[in-house]
Amino acid sequence: MSESSQAYRVLARKYRPQRFSELIGQDAMVTTLGNAIRRGRLAHAFLMTGVRGVGKTSTARLIAKALNCIGPDGQGGPTIDPCGQCDPCRAIAEGRFIDVLEQDAASNTKVEQMRDLLDTIPYAPVSARFKVYIIDEVHMLSNASFNALLKTLEEPPPHVKFIFATTEVHKVPVTILSRCQRFDLRRIPAELLAGHFAHVCAAEGVAAEPEALALVARAAEGSARDGLSILDQAIAHADLEGEGQVTAAQVRDMLGLSDRGAIRRLFGAVLAGDAAAALAGLRAQYDHGVDPATVLRGLLETVHGVTLERMGAGADPAQSAEEREALAGWAARLSFVQTHRLWQLLLKGHDEVVRAPMPIEAAEMALLRVIHAAELPDPAELVRRLARGDLPAPGGPAGPSGGGGHAGAPQASDAPVAPLAPASGAAEPAPSPDAPADFRAFHDLVYADRPRLALHLHDDVGLIHYAPPLVRLRPLRPLPGEFLRDLVAVLRQRTGMNWTVELVDGAAAPSLLEQERAAEAAARQAILDMPVVSAAFAAFPDAELIDYSPAMQARGRAQGS
């Protein structure tokens, strides 16, 4: 083995933070510690918790540096910005400082080992300002070890500081937690990780595509250490390829990730109902070594992205322009009902693929189920149509007992399911003379009993069809799950009629709220267009019309008369 290979340090160790300013994604903790050090209000015990690789142990060492730094001239005091040059800073960074004791609780769980550590606490530090005890994975200590630590942890000597780190804070006794100042280190956002990896690649002299770094950041799941390990592997993989550049295609191949472009094409085939293209796309991914469960997961992420896009959420910086454009197009075409149905079907399919003895066959069946089920109305819609007579009931004239069929003829159960919108010739119930005359009166009827329910009718839906007892509405915003149930119950109680209220897609009138705003804007404009008002604004350019409403206009006309 060459000397350079022996001297190589992996990126996760080489780029371990040496200053608080190098900690990414933990600004709140750094601010708190900096203020505490500057004001001399340092706690005697700290607890760092968070997922692996977010900087718990690194933060513990940085605190030890901050407490014991003496500056390049040897005259400095505790500081949030340790110099990194004095003997304590260098020794702590190299793990050889005698007054900073690091212990792994996973391999030192016994109470005897804890008592040996506690026996050293009364002695003053050899050469430092504070003696610092860092216990990693503290949740692994035994109950006896925790009990032995309690009294010392509550009232330690003034020269002692404890710093604990854990990934499973719920396993630490409450009696320990109550004696520590706790910091919850957050997962590092993917965009910050991608920027950090770009800085590392620049320092290493390695070229990398932004999309490749975004893939590494996403695979790291908020962990800087995991991401640097993946990046280390990706750089080695690029060198083996002979190009010397980290590309998105190489990262996907290395991690076994599906091509997001292929996932978008597969999703488009599913939405188009093209079973042959969908199965071919799935097989192509499988032949490239992508796990079928990973393909289903990619489809789930796409459905989630479409739903967020429909809600107007901000764009994910890790997404390409093509991906954002595709999501926006699907969000404009798919309703919330359709995206929720797709999510449930794909989630069930993913669970089946994970547990199936033949994953690729299970994935194919899952996609076929999604394609065919997407064409069907939901069970509640089918029940309503059967009740209205829009669909032939089982056992009717076209069924086996109807007597009108013959061998080999399609039966009622073989007929295609009607689309969500009723056929033009479908019979609808005649309007009832006792029902509210229009949708505004319909809203007022509900408001008298359930104001909060009426608020959704007023703000969140547009009217498609009003022929009591049948009402068809288009949701303009997400509605509570119990909206239809509560609405039908109120209507039945108030009118004694059996109502049918449907939420469907289609051309709809603006909501009542939008109509009121439009009417108010028109009335306001009519006021502004009056000659006397126009003359007033011409004479006083800085004037403005305030506190105006149609009701005030009516009162003004009444007073003028």
Q: Give me the CATH number covering residue 133.
A: 3.40.50.300
End residue of a domain, out of 169, 184, 199: 184
Could you list the residue range(s) of the whole structural domain that residue 341 is in? 260-373
CATH number of the domain at 315, please. 1.20.272.10
430 part of a folded domain: no
- Please check whether residue 169 is in contact with residue 51, taking contact to mean a CB–CB distance below 8 angstroms: no
Which residue bears the tokens 């996760």? 12
Task: Examine the domain organization and report whether 287 and 247 are in the same domain.
Answer: no
pLDDT of residue 374: 59
Judge whether 344 lies within some domain: yes
Same-domain check for residues 241 and 340: no
Are the CB atoms for 63 and 46 separated by under 8 Å?
Answer: yes
Same domain, 284 and 251: no
Domain match, 49 and 169 both: yes
Question: Is 431 part of a structural domain of the chain?
Answer: no
Assigned token pair, 99: 């007054």
If asked whether residues 66 and 127 sit together in one domain, one would say yes
**Domain finish residue from 163, 184, 205:** 184
**Residue 426 belongs to a domain:** no
277 and 247 inside one domain: no
Residues 117 and 245 in one domain: no
The CA distance from 444 to 419, in Å, is: 32
What's at 116, amino acid-wise? D
Q: Reply yes or no: is the peptide bond before residue 480 cis, omega within 30 of 0.
A: no
> What's the confidence (pLDDT) of residue 549?
53
Residue 419 lies in a domain: no
Both 264 and 298 in one domain: the answer is: yes
Residues 170 and 23 placed together within one structural domain of the fold: yes
Q: Is residue 400 included in any domain, yes or no?
A: no
- Give residue-wise pLDDT tens across range 415-424: 333 333 343 3
Q: How many helices (H) and strands (E) does the chain have?
A: 25, 10
E strand intervals along 309-445: none
Q: What is the CA radius of gyration of the chain?
A: 34
Q: Are residues 234 and 138 in the same domain?
A: no
479 closest CA partner among 507, 453, 508, 505: 453
Judgement on whether residues 210 and 333 belong to the same structural domain of the protein: no
User: Which residues of the chain, if any, have pLDDT below 70?
Assistant: 1-7, 239-244, 256-259, 314-320, 374-434, 546-561
Could you say which of 477, 493, 509 is where a domain stops? 509
Count of structural domains within the chain: 5
What is the predicted pLDDT for the residue at 28? 86
Same domain, 472 and 355: no
Tell me the two tokens of residue 392: 């032939």
Phi, psi dihedrals of residue 466, rounded to the nearest 5°: -130, 105
